[in-house]
Structure 1
Amino acid sequence: MVRLNFPSYAFRFKSRENKMLVFDIIRKKYVILTPEEWVRQHCLHFLIEEKKYPPGRTLVERQLKVATLDKRMDIAVCDPKGKIQLLVECKAPEVVLNQKVFDQIARYNWEARADLLMVTNGINHFYCRMDYEKGEYLFLPELPLYKENY
């Protein structure tokens, strides 16, 4: 797998039926190691180890109803009441983070109403804080450390 723009982390790997698997620290199981999964696993470690987001409030690949469609959010971190505070969209390293990607997370966030958004392909990372009163998002230079309420 390609080197990503995250700190180095200790991952657990295994092989099964000629496929490489990586251990997901949130789902507590081995998952197939695709390029997008490589980014997702780095991002999970980054959120937990660097930014101190609680693993017990972190969701991975959960269903989200967007209008009448069932979508899957990559990563979400919830507050103690279950409201999503941070919504993360992960893409494979070769995927360009263009307007289409930002439109995707915006659609997901229409339902989630997260305070913070993160979009990453493992190489480039974008962070935003939502301002629902003004109907805009503000780009941030980095993702803030976890705190209970934003």
Structure 2
Amino acid sequence: MVALNLPTFAYKTKQVEGKPYIFDLLRRKYVRLSPEEWVRQHIIHLLLTHYAYPKALIRAEGGVVLNQTQKRTDVLVFDRQGQPFLLVECKAPHIALTQTVFDQIGRYNHVHRAPYVVVSNGLVHYCCCVDHDTAGVTFMDDFPAFT
């Protein structure tokens, strides 16, 4: 896997039938290691270790129904009242973060209504504050602090 623009962490991997797997702390199991999963695991560890987000309030690969179609959000963080707080869309490092990616997280967040969204390919990260009343988006310099 390629080096990312995210802090490194002590990860566990294994091979299953010649395919790489990485241990996911949230799902408490080994999951198939793809370039996107590599980014997701780095983002999860960043939220846990550098920003002190509570592990119990983070969900990876959660389901969302959009236009009667089942989709999966990469990472969703809830606040202490159980409401969506931060929605993260992860892409593989070779995927450019285009308007299409922002449209995707916008559709997902139309359902979740999280006040913060992040789009990352592990090399570039965009953190945004979303005002759902005005449909305004403000780009931030850093991930939001968990309160």
Indicate the SS of the match to 1:111.
Answer: helix
- Structure-1 separation of matches of 2:91 and 2:115: 21
How far has the Cα of 1:133 moved from its partner? 2.4
Residues 1-150 of structure 1 aligned to structure 2 (within 5 Å): 1-147=1-147
- Structure-1 separation of matches of 2:48 and 2:80: 16
How far has the Cα of 1:119 moved from its partner? 0.2
How far has the Cα of 1:66 moved from its partner? 1.5
How far has the Cα of 1:69 moved from its partner? 1.6
Deviations 1:25-65 (A, max 9, x none): 10000011100000000000001111111110100101101
How far has the Cα of 1:134 moved from its partner? 2.0
**Could you say what the CA RMSD is over the residues aligned between the two structures, in angstroms?**
0.8
- Structure-2 separation of matches of 1:110 and 1:132: 9
The one-letter code matched in structure 2 to 1:127 is C
More deviation, 76-85/47-56: 76-85
Indicate the SS of the match to 1:100.
Answer: helix
- Structure-1 separation of matches of 2:146 and 2:52: 6
Indicate the SS of the match to 2:44.
Answer: helix
Indicate the SS of the match to 1:3.
Answer: coil
Using structure 1 for the length normalisation, give the TM-score.
Answer: 0.95
Q: Which runs of 5+ in 1 are unaligned?
A: none
How far has the Cα of 1:144 moved from its partner? 2.1
- Structure-2 separation of matches of 1:57 and 1:141: 23
Indicate the SS of the match to 1:102.
Answer: helix
- Structure-1 separation of matches of 2:45 and 2:135: 31
Identity %: 43
- Structure-1 separation of matches of 2:144 and 2:84: 15
The one-letter code matched in structure 2 to 1:16 is V
Whether the 8 Å contact between 2:116 and 2:144 is mirrored in structure 1 is no
Moved over 3 A (4+): none
- Structure-2 separation of matches of 1:83 and 1:65: 17
